[in-house]
Amino acid sequence: MQNAKSADAAVIEMSKVSTRFGDHVVHSDIDLEVRRAEIFALIGGSGSGKSTLLREMILLHRPNSGTIRVLGVDLQKLGDDEADSESLALRQRWGVMFQHGGLFGSLTVKENVGLPLREHTALDDVLIDEIAAWKLSMTGLKPEVGAQYPSELSGGMMKRASLARAMALDPELLFLDEPTAGLDPESAGEVDQLVLKLRDLFGLTIVMITHDLDLLWQVADRVAVLADGRMQGTGSMRELSKMDNPAIRKFFDGPRGRAAQEQEQEQEQKQEKPQGKVQTSHEIGRPSSKPK
């Protein structure tokens, strides 16, 4: 989790943000703040507006009213043209890992990772290939994976390759859309640890959308719950678990919610016991949120 001494300057600030599609109200007066170097999660049921909120943060959609500031820039003051120099400069300060990878099928994995560098820098091809190989290694992929095509990758490898591409331009801010969706528990656990590793190594601020209760308990510093077009609560999972709001309780009272919470408590008890044989991450394994 985030070190208490880390700077808490706001990287993302949303104030009174409201969004409508026709007569349908998606958001109403959303206030939200993401602090520097924290892992912040957005959760909510289907149709709660999580993805719309994320799209508004990354300049893919404009809200009907309210203000959004990202990395100190007021997004409402930027032009609509993606080629606008100020917009382009801001986009290069963040990276996005899409839910289904978003890799180009006609390019190799290494070419996919190197694409942002080819588009936005004047580096030569040899250096770009070296940087791409390093980014892949950083996410735990072997060198030979760079020569493969996306269709040849497993789900876990696809997630890692997509994350490597999101990191290509050394961003300050990272957006992750369902980073563990569709993965088996072992692969999902590896992604959990990778997210923490990247934040700790590079001081990244990470915003993620996820339904993965284990990921929320193990990785997120703070979590915001969306429901009925409004922000229902924000805090650590432990803080949220003590709230009585029905929209929040459903993430803790169901079988999966209880199982994830129990696993978190078991992990804490293990850490509090006198040290004996040190357990490796493989021996401890990833907690499962499946009902017992």
pLDDT of 271 over the 90 cut: no
Least Cα distance to 73 among 84, 64, 4 occurs for 84
Quick one: pLDDT at residue 9?
84
Between the alpha carbon of residue 188 and those of residues 59, 141, 262, 281, the distances in Å are 29, 15, 18, 13
Same domain, 116 and 77: no
Are 238 and 249 in a shared domain? yes
Q: Are residues 48 and 102 in the same domain?
A: no
**DSSP category for residue 13:** E
Q: Please report the pLDDT score of residue 259 as a whole number.
A: 59
Whether 225 and 262 map to the same domain: the answer is yes
Q: What is the pLDDT of residue 257?
A: 58
In this structure, the answer to whether residues 155 and 21 fall within a common structural domain is no
Residue 2 has pLDDT above 60, yes or no: no
The answer on pLDDT for 267 being more than 90 is: no
pLDDT tens readout for residues 164-214: 999 999 999 999 999 998 889 888 989 999 999 999 999 999 999 998 988
Same domain, 84 and 116: no
Interval 63-81 mean pLDDT: 91
- Give yes or no: residues 123 and 67 share one domain: no
Residue 218 shares a structural domain with residue 241: yes
pTM of this structure:
0.85
pLDDT class for 260, splitting at 50, 70, 90? low
DSSP state of 6: S
Asked whether residue 263 carries a pLDDT value surpassing 90, the answer given is no
Q: Rounded distance, CA 107 to CA 115, Å? A: 9
The token pair at 105 is: 């099928």
Task: Please tell me whether residues 89 and 132 are part of one structural domain.
Answer: no
Half-sphere CA count of 197, side-chain side, radius 13 A? 10
The pLDDT, as a whole number, for residue 99 is 84
- Please, are residues 232 and 225 in contact by the beta-carbon 8 Å criterion? yes
Are the C-beta atoms of residues 122 and 64 closer than 8 Å to each other? no
Q: Length of the chain, please?
A: 292
| 86 plus 214 within the same structural domain | yes
Beta carbons of 288 and 215 less than 8 angstroms apart: no
Position 133 in a domain: yes
Rounded Cα–Cα distance for residues 156 and 166 (Å): 15
Which segment of 21-30, 186-195, 263-272 scores lowest on mean pLDDT?
Answer: 263-272
Q: Is the pLDDT of residue 74 over 50?
A: yes
Q: Which residues contact 109 (CB under 8 A, 6 or more apart)?
A: 103, 136, 141, 145, 146, 147, 148, 149, 150, 153, 161
Distance CA 166, CA 35 (A): 20
Residue (of 109, 103, 153, 155) closest to 135 by Cα position:
109
What per-residue confidence (pLDDT) applies to 287? 47
Of the candidates 139, 153, 146, 154, the residue with the CA atom closest to the CA atom of residue 194: 139
pLDDT-derived band of residue 270, with 50, 70 and 90 as boundaries?
low
Distances (CA, A) of 27 to 17, 31, 52, 229, 267: 7, 10, 9, 4, 37
We report the CATH number of the domain holding residue 213 as 3.40.50.300
Task: Evaluate whether residue 292 is within a structural domain.
Answer: no
pLDDT mean over 134-144? 95
Summarised one tens digit per residue, pLDDT across range 104-129 is: 999 999 999 999 999 999 999 999 99
Q: Is the pLDDT of residue 72 over 90?
A: yes
Res 47: pLDDT: 84
Q: Is the dihedral of CA 223, 225, 231, 235 positive or negative?
A: negative
Q: How many domains does the chain have?
A: 2
Q: Are 147 and 199 within 8 A, CB to CB?
A: no
Tell me whether residue 166 is in a domain.
yes
Does 275 fall in a domain? no
Per DSSP, what are the bridge partners of residue 157?
none
Q: What is the pLDDT of residue 281?
A: 38
Residue 284: its pLDDT value, please? 39
Q: Is residue 265 part of a domain?
A: yes
What is the rounded average pLDDT for all residues in the chain? 87
Do the domain assignments include residue 283?
no
The answer to whether 101 and 151 are in contact (CB under 8 A) is no
Domain co-membership, 52 together with 17: yes
What residue numbers bound the domain in which 134 lies? Answer: 94-170
pLDDT for the residue 219: 95
Task: Give the pLDDT mean for 16-33.
Answer: 95
Quote the CA–CA distance of 235 and 221 in Å, as a whole number.
Answer: 8
Residue 6 has pLDDT above 90, yes or no: no
Classify residue 38: in a domain, yes or no.
yes
Pair (83, 140) in one structural domain: no
Average pLDDT over residues 59-64: 94
Whether residue 184 is contained in a domain is answered as: no
Rounded to whole angstroms, the Cα distance separating 146 from 104 reads 13
> Distance between CA 252 and CA 257 in Å, rounded?
4
